[in-house]
Structure 1
């Protein structure tokens, strides 16, 4: 299986047999990379997700990090989590032909039939309020889902692409779908701004209009999921009025 649009011009590609984590490998290489680069690994020995959590990676699953040199302030760079989520959904639809099966969970997960299929992690490098490099890490349960017992209570149960759809895709073939999908969404973002990305993301948002709980290390807020604003914040309707949340874990 390969992408219809082909590999994006000007973007480099590395496929490693094994590494500690593609995020760590990307950070080590970032300063000397001449342009956008995908670093994919068939095995990770120390993968991690958001908030430093361990990320389980059974054999055959997808792990890759994209290194970019973005223009603009850190807040704009952070909006690429939505760009990546849309591109990841595009790639999943291209792999399966099932657009109705995939939804997006704020801030950076892709769901398949309501279960967690994939996660996205952003890390930036820079100084003086400037982002020199942005690393977008993506993990997808292509072949197998991790043990639900490893998750915190209330988390969305994990699923795999093969288990839910019967479609088998190798990590290399999935990268051939994801890279052009991301390139297209990145061009849309840099040309037209966040507005069309936000509109497209909301069109596929999981539990929009439903009651959800946003939980941080300090507190939690429960309300009706109404919107995502132009800064990428979650907007919940609560008894105290609209509440905007910059970062949290969402529980349904």
Structure 2
């Protein structure tokens, strides 16, 4: 199935499967075989999905498992900025299905929260081949049900609104990806940063960042010009380039904020 969005945008090729091991693995394999940008692979059930930091992404069925292949040019910016394009696209695609849009928030660098709990995540992988750089973006969302994982509280769209058919959501994500890529190319990262912050948990939210060297606590300040997390800690302002982010102020993260458009 071909997905067409704005004039001049890529003609996305959406392949829908009843079951796959990993949609991202399929996209990476296709990139190695010379596939062009715009390939999108969706599985109605994914048996070997993976999340960030080496975690498994459990899929009980009825949720979203989607990966897309892009071939960004040199003018398309650093790979580290693509989570903001992908996050804004994911947020925009899910938002119409949520009863109270203020409850849907972005969390740095690549998660979506509903009522303060994770409902969706993004995994970005990249590489090079004879045709140049490729980028595979994996989107996973709890639509109808949230898996049970010890020590973690997860949310699903159905508990906060109406769970869309995964294929409808996949098509919407492709359209939103085109939209936010166009914004980035026309107006630069500053426009993405401003839009992302409007949809994120509010400034002052207390966060914990866990990394290889330990963990640090502080208050969310915003993003710098390279997309790094700004955290106000006891010793001053810190810039965070990587790490696992946990929210201490869960209620504040899910309570108020502006609606994304």
Common fold: TM-score over 0.5: yes
Q: Equivalents in 2 of 1:99, 1:118: separation in Å? A: 15
The equivalent residue for 1:12 is 13
Name stretches of at least 5 consecutive residues in structure 1 with no aligned partner. none
User: Which of 92, 97, 122 is the aligned partner of 1:95?
Assistant: 97
Q: By how many angstroms is 1:131 displaced?
A: 6.4
Alignment length, in residue pairs? 242
1:173 is matched with: 168
Which position in structure 2 is the counterpart of 1:68?
Answer: 70
> Contact 2:99–2:160 (CA<8 Å) still a contact in 1?
no
Q: 2:197 aligns with which of 188, 202, 205?
A: 202
Cα distance in 1, alignment partners of residues 188 and 166 from structure 2? 30
Partner of 2:155: 159
Unaligned runs of 5+ residues in structure 2 are 248-261
Q: Measure the CA separation in 1 of the matches of 2:77 and 2:212.
A: 22
Q: Which moved more, 1:217-226 or 1:92-101?
A: 92-101
Equivalent residues of 2:5, 2:11 under 8 A apart: no
- Per the TM alignment, residue 148 of structure 1 is displaced from its structure 2 partner at its CA by 3.4
Of the candidates 51, 54, 57, which is equivalent to residue 55 of structure 1? 57
Deviation at 1:87, TM superposition (A): 0.9
2:219, 2:36 → 1: CA distance?
Answer: 44
| Moved segments of 4+, more than 4 Å | 3-9
- RMSD of aligned residue pairs (Cα, Å): 2.3
Residues 131 and 216 of structure 1: CA distance in aligned 2, closer, same or farther (over 3 Å):
farther
- The alpha-carbon deviation at position 173 of structure 1 amounts to 1.2
**Compared with structure 1, are the counterparts of its residues 251 and 196 closer, same or farther at alpha carbon in structure 2 (3 Å cutoff)?**
same
Please say which of residues 44-53 and 26-35 is displaced more in the overlay: 26-35
Q: Does 1:223 align with 2:225?
A: no
Q: Contact 2:5/2:175 (CA < 8 Å) preserved in 1?
A: yes
